[in-house]
Structure 1
Amino acid sequence: MKLSGLGVWNLYFLVKFALYYYGAIDFNVLANAALAAMLAIKFKAMAIEKVKHIVGAIFAVVLLYKDSWLPPINRLTKQAGNVQDFSFGYFLELLARVINVDMLLALFVISICFWYTSQWVRFTTITVIGLMVVGWQDDDSQSQVENNVVNPSTITKKQDDTQAQVVTQATQSPDQKLADFYQQQSLLTSHFPSQVNGELFDIIILNICSMAVDDLDTIGVSVTEMYKDFDVVFSDFNSATSYSGPAAIRLLRASCGQTSQTALFKDAPEQCYLFKNLEKLGYQNNVVMNHDGHFDGFKDLISKYGGLDSTPFDIDSMPVAQYGFDDSPIYSDGAVLNSWLDQQAKNCKPCAMYYNTTSLHDGNQLANRARMNSQQSYPIRHENLFNDIGKFIKNLEKRGRNVMLMVVPEHGAALKGDKVQFAGLREIPSPAIVSVPVAIKFIGPDVKSYSQVVIDESTSYFALSELVSKTLQTNVFGGNNSVASLFENLPKAPKVAENADTIMMYVNQRPYIQLDGGDWSAYPQGK
């Protein structure tokens, strides 16, 4: 047994260095160095040598997957049933997004250069140097996260309490910062009045799947222009997750502070459920969707964990506008909303209605149209959706009823994708996916009009619950109070987002992620 060069295995490490430089993968230096060390050992017995390469190949594949940004294997196995529902056309569409032509050409060039120069270049030396450089960069990056920018020793002892608090926060590790965030959020609870003060009003929440600020920028739509007829716009609302089920649960539990992903699927105190709080005030809860709610058990999730156990409004007779990525029917938003208004809204005074639409979901196909890439059809589907919402608002105004209308996207569509996740992939709740545009409109004959308020600071669901509570206590619809007063001192929220085994949080004004409880690393920016 002796040490030798890595031979053709150098190509594996060179390719990984290129992918790491491109930002397509992470790089576990210790694990990769251990693999290189094992492969450098040359055994005299040919049988053992062959076994070494077979074992090395297995470890190399596992390590490449582990270093990639792909979802953990256990996540894939849990989602296997959902993936089976994908239509064949949607599979082909996803495959086209995964294959990056520029990356393939770069890998081809690296391979040819390796074979051409391997006769006189000692690539094992280059691999060792590469491991050392990546290891040095990794240590430097990790020390920045752990030590942060502010050094307490540079602050004089004559600091006031505010300075001391800033220094303490700045020198926290990400894990400590996350724990403190959830501890602070656990203290937040909305306190609803015992009765509505003034004119009764309906509360309608339109929960839109797949619409982030970044998606609107991609298709050239201005947030303020889209919401030009709304009273308030939250331009940096944190959806706190990038999946529909958890997003809906977080919205329906808005009356308490943000919890961890795990806590979402456990019972919560009754005062946390927004619609249960409204029910105590005499509201009749309504659930309306433009889909059947079967995918990923969505309908059951909002009932079991969101406190909405009302029977969904019957939509089977509605016109089909699209077909989903699983070929299931997606009904016309305008037809569903206006049918509810005509048939069911008249039976409840006041109404609390939760509407969920998947019209913008990735993989959808427009009905009675030739097959189109779902990213290309996104602008069309978006325009159709907001035309329908606009007509619904006009119908609400014609009825003369007082309504607090809230448009709350679940998460983004990831139309552009980035270095880490191809377009449409939302496994990691990146800022581009969780920063969604929320808007609220007060509809009623006596509501005082005023100029639109745009809130640019990061906010989240608890602020919406507080806003509902304030509205219940303020006679806005009686014409005696301005809507503007409702938005004073609304709670802000740091941008923390979480999926199963994946957390995103800002450290030093830069997004960092933690995968599977491992080390925190900076989320690569740019395409």
Structure 2
Amino acid sequence: MNKDIDAANRSSSSMPLLGPYWRGLGGWNYYFLLKFGLLWHGYLNFHPLANLVLVAFLLLPIPNIRLHRLRHWLAMPLGIGLFYHDTWLPGVGSLLSQGDQLAGLSGVYLLELIQRFINWQMLGAALVLWVAYLFLAQWLRFTVLVVAALGWLNLQGFSVPAVNLLPVGFSSVAEHQLVQPQTAPFQVSSAGVQATNQNLNAALDTFYQQERQRQTRFPDSLPSDAVPFDLLVINICSLSWSDMAAVKLASHPFWQRFDIRFQNFNSATSYSGPAGIRLLRASCGQPAQENLYQAADPHCYLFDNLAQLGFTTRLSMDHDGDFGGYLTALRQHGQLQAPLMSLQGIDRALVSFDGAPVLNDTQLFSRWLQQRQVDDETRTATFFNLIPLHDGNRLPGQNITAPYHDRALNLLEQLDTFFDTLDQSGRKLMVVVVPEHGAALVGDKVQLSGLRDIPSPSMTRVPVGIKLFGIRAEQQGSPLEIEAPSSYLAISELIARLVDGRQFEAADIDWQSLTQGLPQTVAVSENDNAVVMEFQGDSYIRLSEGDWVPYPR
């Protein structure tokens, strides 16, 4: 009996011995305060539970002071990795998947990218926070505040304070009718559907299910009175409405030269290869990113559809197409097998981000027109790809990126001159200008300027225009604006409506009727590790199959 009492006394007296070993977080308090500051302003994709686990690991009492200090050293790589995980920066998987492309960048361009990561204002704010922490730590127990804040964040299911201060309610997408006519964009018919993680996942799945059912129907053959014409699809890298606004070129006269202009066109990606494949597969609804590299229905391939109707397909670029396997991707996944137009003798205009030449686009256009004037093809469809606006391009002999404004102005002037030449030629042509994606000139809370791992709304909203040359009808004064949310399927539909060429001989063109009922597509954009989707009028982002959060504004 006495032995039992003694054992119980020893057990009860040993419990308080843990008290002296609750040492607090020390300098780690600053680590979490820094995160809270970034989180509050929307600069982090914060993971509350993972951070709480790190705090628990750091606070667990260890009597041995040496082991306690060793734990802090061991936690440093964990803390660095978690900090990176909490940012919007590309994931490790994304970096590894693009290792070959990163290795292909020139050293000058890589150094320039590294310099962009240095934000002196944020470094100054971090210094002020550090001094304030050291000063206030004399009176405040920051460990208690940090633990309380993390506990509250976990209880609230809190993600981005700058955007959403309270958890959203729960209402299932399945409880509401999804509307998707052929011409209407995916949408939820009831405003009562809340932006929960479950509902956003369901909405994305529904979007892709419905897009699989949409397809442009080209005629089986052209009528006997069809009018021959040429189609030029000019695909431009790194050009968005946001970029044009940033360099004050959104009102350049070139944008007024179109017959039809899309104001709300979504490129659905922020990388060149996927953008080219999506454009070449424009005759079907928008596929998921992973499906771009799988065989599609034969009717999805725009240039194949045109070839079936007698158009000779052609390909022209102001670069060699080697970087990132771009040309290979067009041929393998876009079914564009046309030979590349010879670039021999065309002058170099720029040096690209990987050190390869970027050729003179005026000479490129002239060569195409000269060849077209001497060949005997009845109809042609040409895919142009232009990259003078790509980030990192520089003038020959210089080691810094040429100003985007100067390159953009030069390209618009070249296109404007090319349009003049086409006007004067008297040839019947349909020209479609559709950029791949934006240049991200203006960074946001998610990405630094120039980074494109996440397809932000400002980067994927691109200016798209369609112009008919050689028509009998009087040209309209200003472009017909298409304000509805649109993407590649609308381009394919317009080409199908004009493919017989009769509008070129018409005494009058009813542009309103021609564009009535064009397929609409809600803004859903995707790269390998990121999805950005518009839902109930707002944009949401999901990284690497994680949870959805509102896109920080």
Structure 2-normalised TM-score? Answer: 0.88
Distance in 2 between the 1:404 and 1:475 partners?
12
Sort the Cα spacing of 1:402 and 1:144 in 2 relative to 1 into closer, same or farther, 3 A: farther
**2:299 aligned residue:** 271
Q: What percent identity do the matched residue pairs reach? A: 36
SS at 2:233's partner residue? strand
Greater radius of gyration (CA): 2
**2:491 aligned residue:** 464
Deviations 1:96-151 (A, max 9, x none): 32111110001111112222332322110121232134345544859755636999
Sort the Cα spacing of 1:142 and 1:467 in 2 relative to 1 into closer, same or farther, 3 A: farther
Distance in 2 between the 1:329 and 1:515 partners?
35
Distance in 2 between the 1:193 and 1:224 partners?
37
User: Post-superposition shift, 1:87?
Assistant: 1.9
Amino acid at match of 1:482: I
The answer to whether the aligner puts 1:107 opposite 2:126 as a matched pair is yes
**1:180 aligned residue:** 206
Q: Which runs of 5+ in 1 are unaligned?
A: 154-163
The answer to whether the aligner puts 1:313 opposite 2:313 as a matched pair is no
SS at 2:284's partner residue? coil
Deviations 1:222-242 (A, max 9, x none): 257431111011011000000
Deviations 1:408-460 (A, max 9, x none): 00000000111110000111111000000100000014244224201122100
State whether residues 350 and 393 of structure 2, in contact with CA within 8 Å, keep that contact through their aligned partners in structure 1. Answer: yes
User: Post-superposition shift, 1:47?
Assistant: 4.7
State whether residues 475 and 481 of structure 1, in contact with CA within 8 Å, keep that contact through their aligned partners in structure 2. Answer: no
**2:286 aligned residue:** 258
**2:420 aligned residue:** 394
Aligned residue among 216, 234, 238 for 2:266:
238
Q: Which moved more, 1:48-57 or 1:208-217?
A: 48-57
**1:160 aligned residue:** none
**2:527 aligned residue:** 499
SS at 2:190's partner residue? helix
Deviations 1:345-393 (A, max 9, x none): 642321100000001000111236x55444xx11111111111112222
User: Post-superposition shift, 1:299?
Assistant: 0.4
**2:8 aligned residue:** none
SS at 1:419's partner residue? coil
User: Post-superposition shift, 1:185?
Assistant: 0.7
Q: When the two structures are aligned, how many residues end up with a matched partner? A: 512
Sort the Cα spacing of 1:494 and 1:366 in 2 relative to 1 into closer, same or farther, 3 A: same
State whether residues 200 and 402 of structure 1, in contact with CA within 8 Å, keep that contact through their aligned partners in structure 2. Answer: yes
User: Post-superposition shift, 1:21?
Assistant: 1.9
**1:199 aligned residue:** 227
Structure 1-normalised TM-score? Answer: 0.92
Distance in 2 between the 1:362 and 1:145 partners?
39
State whether residues 173 and 202 of structure 2, in contact with CA within 8 Å, keep that contact through their aligned partners in structure 1. Answer: no
Q: Which runs of 5+ in 2 are unaligned?
A: 1-17, 177-186
Aligned residue among 127, 137, 150 for 1:131:
150
Aligned residue among 369, 377, 390 for 1:361:
390
Amino acid at match of 1:260: A
Distance in 1 between the 2:166 and 2:130 partners?
34
User: Post-superposition shift, 1:206?
Assistant: 0.4
Aligned residue among 86, 104, 121 for 2:105:
86
Q: Which moved more, 1:428-437 or 1:78-87?
A: 78-87
Sort the Cα spacing of 1:360 and 1:329 in 2 relative to 1 into closer, same or farther, 3 A: same
Question: Equivalent residues in 2 for 1:28-39 (5 A)?
Answer: 28-39=47-58
Distance in 2 between the 1:445 and 1:187 partners?
35
State whether residues 227 and 501 of structure 2, in contact with CA within 8 Å, keep that contact through their aligned partners in structure 1. Answer: no
- Alpha-carbon RMSD: 2.4
State whether residues 224 and 233 of structure 1, in contact with CA within 8 Å, keep that contact through their aligned partners in structure 2. Answer: no
**1:380 aligned residue:** 406
Amino acid at match of 2:189: V
Distance in 2 between the 1:165 and 1:514 partners?
19
**1:408 aligned residue:** 434
**2:506 aligned residue:** 479
Aligned residue among 166, 170, 188 for 2:189:
166
State whether residues 207 and 355 of structure 1, in contact with CA within 8 Å, keep that contact through their aligned partners in structure 2. Answer: yes
State whether residues 231 and 440 of structure 1, in contact with CA within 8 Å, keep that contact through their aligned partners in structure 2. Answer: yes
